[in-house]
Structures are given as structure tokens and as C-alpha cells.
A = this chain, B = another copy of it.
């Protein structure tokens, strides 16, 4: 019996331990980053907001003119099988479609057979639970929507990765990259929010339309916070009472320092706390919760 305890993957139609899961070096998903993906998490044995992630995955696939030989329910079965094989009660579950490999000598993406992959690994945190992050705002620009549509979840991350190195160089733990006007966009795998008084701001465009972002916006509206989807300047972030990040990889996570300066009280602020607790409580709501059969 293979050891799936570190995670399980579905590659080329087979279920294998994630450490053995490999894709062809010739797949344009690698050689051209010609792929889209989504990540849904499993908490306490259930997917959270599975439908939203599957919707976005199929929409991204259509935008890139790709398809998989699976229906929605078959896709969910594959994802569930990866989680069940691993036995993980808290997991990070990724579904991927790649362009595939062209015929020898061809460079025509229409002649590739798209490939579908998936894997479940132990839950990943952008920030360890309870710890505030030190964010550095870099001058790296996020790849603009005119080049690559950020609403199609993609692996074009070199701007974010190099931003992360800039942040480390400046004593930070993670990075925000900016738009052409210097406004904050997002960080490696997370959306950004700033709370000032009873107003919460987040960048409207040029960012991934994160599912956790969407959840945070809905929870804020329930709390009678004023919500502004617009631009988010460095000055607004530096003057904010609370700053936080949202990601499937960790939920709602406080940012307690920006560019070396403490934000608010230097710990999770009261509004972030309310949203954080509401976010985790929502995991028990049957509307958003899809139990796994282990």
C-alpha cells in the first residue's frame, strides 16, 4: 500500500503519493506556464466553498480555451479521492489544467491535448495562525490585466516571487506588489484589506477575485462596515487602523507591520478579529460545507 500520508495526487489518471507525482517536462503548462488552476481547502473533513472554486476553475479553463474530460461531479470525485486517500482532515487541494504537449515539431496550442492534474497536501498557511505578518510594499508591478487576466487564476508569479525577495531584503516577511500608479494590488497568494475607522478598503481590479476576499467582503457588509472596492494607496495602508490579508491558505490573517512600522496595536485588530472569527464559524454552515467521505 503506497504511503499517502504526505498527500495524494491524481496524475495521468492515476492516484499516487504526492512525492511521486510528476508531469511531463514537455507540457506547456510548465514550458509556457500555459495553465489555470484553483485551490479549495478542506477544514475539519469538509471542503469550504467548493462550488465557488469549481465555478472559477471552469471559467478560467474556458477563458484559456481549455477543457478537461471530466464533468463537475467527476472533478469533485477526483478531488475527494485525493483527500480521502491522504486521510487529511485539513488540506490544501489544487486542481490544474494545462495546455499539454504539442505534436512533435508543432508549436500550435490548438493541437495540444489538455491535461488535468489534482493533488491534496496538508493545509498551508500564508502566516502561522495567530501571528501577524510584516508586509513590505515593493515597487515591483503586478503583471497588468492587459497582459494576463488576473481573474483567471494563473501561475505567472515571478513578479510576486521577486517582490518576496525584495521584502526579505528589507526585513519583511511578505510582499505587496503595486500597479503602474504605485497603488497596492496583492501579495503572493493573498488579497489585501485596510480598515480605517468603520471603512474597509480593498483593491478593486488588477487582482485575483479571491474566494476568501469575496467571503471577507460579505462578512464586512453583515458587520455594517463601509466597504470600498477601489484603489489602495501606500499612504492609506500606513494610516490604517488594521490591515489584513485573505487567502484560501489561511483565511483572514492580520498584517501587524508595514515597511517596518507597526500597524495599529501591532496585533490582530478588533475588526479583523470579528471577521476572522466569522470566517471560521462559516465553515460549519452547510451552505458552504461539503463533507468528504473518508
Contact = CB atoms under 8 A, between A and B. Distances in A.
A6 to B, nearest CB: 7
A31 to B, nearest CB: 6
Interface string A139-169: 0111110111000001111111110110010
B164 A109 contact: yes
A273 interface: no
Interface in A82-118: 96, 99, 104-105, 107, 109-110, 117
Contacts of A146: 140-141, 180
Given A23-B23, A146-B180, A157-B32, A105 B124 contact: yes
Nearest to A124: B105
Q: How many copies does the complex hold?
A: 2
A104 B24 CA distance: 23
Contact of A23 (B30, B33, B162, B249): B30
A235 interface: no
Given A146-B141, A162-B64, A180-B146, A155 B33 contact: yes
Interface in A4-33: 6, 9, 11, 18-19, 21-26, 28-33
Contacts of A141: 144, 146-147
Interface in A148-201: 148, 154-162, 164-165, 168, 180, 188-189
A280 interface: no
Given A25-B9, A25-B22, A64-B162, A105 B122 contact: yes
A143 B160 CA distance: 14
Interface of A: 6, 9, 11, 18-19, 21-26, 28-34, 64-65, 96, 99, 104-105, 107, 109-110, 117, 119, 121-122, 124-126, 140-144, 146-148, 154-162, 164-165, 168, 180, 188-189, 249
Given A19-B24, A22-B25, A148-B156, 10 more contacts: A18-B26, A21-B25, A21-B26, A25-B119, A32-B161, A99-B161, A105-B125, A107-B249, A141-B144, A154-B158
